[in-house]
Amino acid sequence: MKAFLKKCGIYLLTVTVVCSLLASLLFFVIAPQYSMGYNAAILDKMERLRSLDGPKIILVGDSNLAYGMDSAVLEERLDMPVVNLGLHGGLGSAFHERMAYGEIGEGDIVVVCHTGYTKGAAAVGDAELAWITIENHFDLWPVIPPADRLSMWKTLPGYAVKCTGLFLSGKGNQSTQDSYRRSAFNEYGDVAFDRPDGTYEMTGAQHTGVFGVDETGIAGINRLNALCGKAGAKLCVAAYPVMDDGQAPEPERFAAAVERLREGIDCPFISDFADYYYPPDLFYNTAYHMTSHGAHLRAEQLARDLRLAFLS
């Protein structure tokens, strides 16, 4: 029995050492390999968030914010600096909410705008995408929701293989030529290259949908609200843009979903979805991304909502 236990101990020690060496090689030599990609914009967004002193507006959500907000307009209308943390829906609402954890200060206004509040959207939907996002930036690892950390480790080998392939081929850390690149973002965190009205085909979501509501999504918002309260900040939830293409849900359906959400969350929902219906020519490549003009109009509406809610 002692000999058997000794062999088991040696085996476990060997596995631990090998795994540690491989992890060290990946995180300290090979990674990062996606530093110019779309999701690497998280580095610039977090740097701006941490650099702003005094009251600020923090926008939390997915790509409906990244491709649908003119933060300069919001900043000018409300006379507060703005940081847009909107990134990628595949990361989940909890990931985006946790980006703001620990960075909220007194007087801040935190605006949550997800296109979904369901359980599926409140967890990391694509763990390998999350690895591509955080890579070896250890200060970002806490944004991973605790419930998702096991799935993250399960998908680490897939990320490691892709990362190693890019490293060996010399093709890593290169920018794409499309809009999904780090360099497409401006200093606020908005996707800012010119997107003229009425010139794009829908390659993503074809029509806008009504968000779902469940206890997991509500709990995430309430956790963020509690953190805001402790920091002396205010949290609210706002609407996302609706493509008024003749197949959009009626405003009454959004109103019913908002009422269900309001019954559970501890912060105000400040928008009327009826104010966020826009014609199709103001949308860019999906029913949740806007043209430059559309982002401007939406920012004007959000500024009005925020002024009425907090600044009037």
Domain ranges of the chain: 31-311
Q: What mean pLDDT value characterizes the chain?
A: 91
| Alpha-carbon gap, residue 176 to 51, rounded angstroms | 28
Residue 52 has pLDDT above 80, yes or no: yes
Residue 98: count other Cβ atoms within 10 Å of its Cβ.
22
Q: How, if at all, do strands 109-113 and 242-243 pair?
A: unpaired
| Alpha-carbon gap, residue 145 to 91, rounded angstroms | 10
pLDDT of residue 201: 84
Rounded mean pLDDT, 179-198 = 94
| Alpha-carbon gap, residue 91 to 63, rounded angstroms | 10
| Alpha-carbon gap, residue 305 to 193, rounded angstroms | 26
In this prediction, residue 265 has a pLDDT band, given cuts at 50, 70 and 90, of very high
Residue 16 has pLDDT above 60, yes or no: no
What topology does CATH give the domain 31-311? Answer: Rossmann fold (3.40.50)
Q: Between 1 and 58, whose confidence is greater?
A: 58
pLDDT of residue 149: 85
| Alpha-carbon gap, residue 214 to 229, rounded angstroms | 23
CB neighbour burial string for 192-219, b if at least 16 within 10 angstroms, e if fewer: beebebeebebeebeebebbebbebbbe
Rounded mean pLDDT, 42-56 = 97
Locate 55 and state its tokens: 């009251």
Rounded mean pLDDT, 142-146 = 92
Residue in the block written with tokens 């499309």? 178
Residue 109 has pLDDT above 70, yes or no: yes
In this prediction, residue 256 has a pLDDT band, given cuts at 50, 70 and 90, of very high
Locate 24 and state its tokens: 């060290």
User: pLDDT tens-digit profile of 189-219?
Assistant: 999 989 999 988 888 899 999 998 889 899 9
